[in-house]
Amino acid sequence: MTEQVNERELVLDILVQHEKSGTFAEDLLHGSMDSHEELTGTQRAFMKRLMEGTIERKIELDKVVQNHLKRPDVRLKTEIRCLLLMSCYQILYMDAVPDFAAVNEAVRILKKRGRKEQAGFVNGVLRAICRDKEQGNIKAASLSEETSMPEEILSLWEEQYGKDHASAIAHSMMKVRPVCIRLNPHVTDVEKKDMISTLEAKGAIVQEGHFLPYVLMLKKAGQISSLPGFSEGAFTVQDESSALAVEAAGLRGRKGGLVLDLCAAPGGKATLAAQLLPEGEVRAFDLTKKKTDRIRENARRLHLRNLTALEHDATVFLPELEGKADTVLCDLPCSGLGVITRKREIKYRVGKKEIEELVQLQKKILANAYRYVKEGGVLLYSTCTI
């Protein structure tokens, strides 16, 4: 008889591999789900919430766990630490999970894996956390702990915006954001109304975008790729701010022309450019085959025949394109600090050193980009940082 898959164990394995290899947890999550087709929609949603929440609040959770160790300076094995963090997240932030269930499941996992001694240790730590939670004794001692934002990033924001504004930014990064989807920019009101009704029938809470009529914001939508219309190309995932950047390039209403997107993956801006400019040509570049394959897949799903994805390093000049482009899109590699709510682990990967290196990389790409623009053309520079 096949053993039933346990979603908590899968999340534990993802977190351990993430810690040891540095691989993006989101990629590991997708890989794990793809390898376990038997997972239900509820299990998948639980895995996503638990993994993302544990990573998002890692600094806070680490401190809570540390405060409940008899020897706070002890270095825990990766598996034990990850199990404590994800169990602590369930206790503090997943109201649908009873505290005893979070504790018992952690103990069960360790016993199943032959870690009986560690099971007793983990049981004691988690029960102590449960007691302090009930007594209201778990409180953050700093802004970094409260928002799980690294001190180095908080210092950068305080230098740029002042202490109060930096605090407001850090707190805003903890809010749950809706998922934005982009319909075809030429969608009619009737088509949009029908799509909203279809999505609501699947249990999604739908709001229209703030600025663009073809953007919808979804809550409780589940797995986006499973929603009706996704496979058929009725919509794709793209933040409204990202779509606004493309609109700023002034493509709508033009007759033809060449658009270059120099750092295009996963293809949100490039595919929108192709939709806005159906009689034009869009060439979308990125570094690796994996990235360009993703652009091609999105273009295919959206039925775009005027978009070509090409592997190329944007820091290397292409002389054959000098002065040929009507529009060049430069959504350049950056710290990504403006999209932490979407990519939670970015904040643990970026510091002053990495930002300086990214500035130099951006300069190299821009030095090539402006040479591709023909006289009277448009060079659009954008980043997702703050």
What is the location of CATH 3.40.50.150 in the chain?
250-386
Mean pLDDT (the chain, rounded): 93
181-237 is classed in which CATH architecture?
2-Layer Sandwich (3.30)
Question: Which tens digits make up the pLDDT trace of 98-115?
Answer: 999 999 999 999 999 998
Three-state SS string across 174-190, please? CCCCCEEEEECCCCCHH
What is the location of CATH 3.30.70.1170 in the chain?
181-237
What is the location of CATH 1.10.940.10 in the chain?
7-139
DSSP structural state of residue 5: P
Q: Which two tokens stand for residue 362?
A: 């951006």
Question: Are 384 and 336 within 8 A, CB to CB?
Answer: yes
Percent of the chain predicted with pLDDT > 90: 80
pLDDT at 122 over 90: yes
Which CATH topology does 7-139 take?
N-utilizing Substance Protein B Homolog; Chain A (1.10.940)
The maximal CA–CA distance of the chain, rounded, in angstroms, is 72
Residue 1: per-residue pLDDT? 40
Percent of the chain predicted with pLDDT > 70: 99
Question: Which tens digits make up the pLDDT trace of 189-248?
Answer: 999 999 999 999 999 999 999 999 999 999 988 889 889 999 999 999 999 999 999 999
Over residues 285-314, the mean pLDDT reads 96
Smallest Cα–Cα separation from 34: which of 220, 225, 221?
A: 225
Q: How many CA atoms lie within 13 A of 300 on its CB side?
A: 7
Three-state SS string across 295-308, please? HHHHHHHCCCCCEE
Question: Are 295 and 267 within 8 A, CB to CB?
Answer: yes
CATH superfamily of 250-386: Vaccinia Virus protein VP39 (3.40.50.150)
**201-219: b (≥16 Cβ within 10 Å) or e:** eeebebeebeebebbbbbe
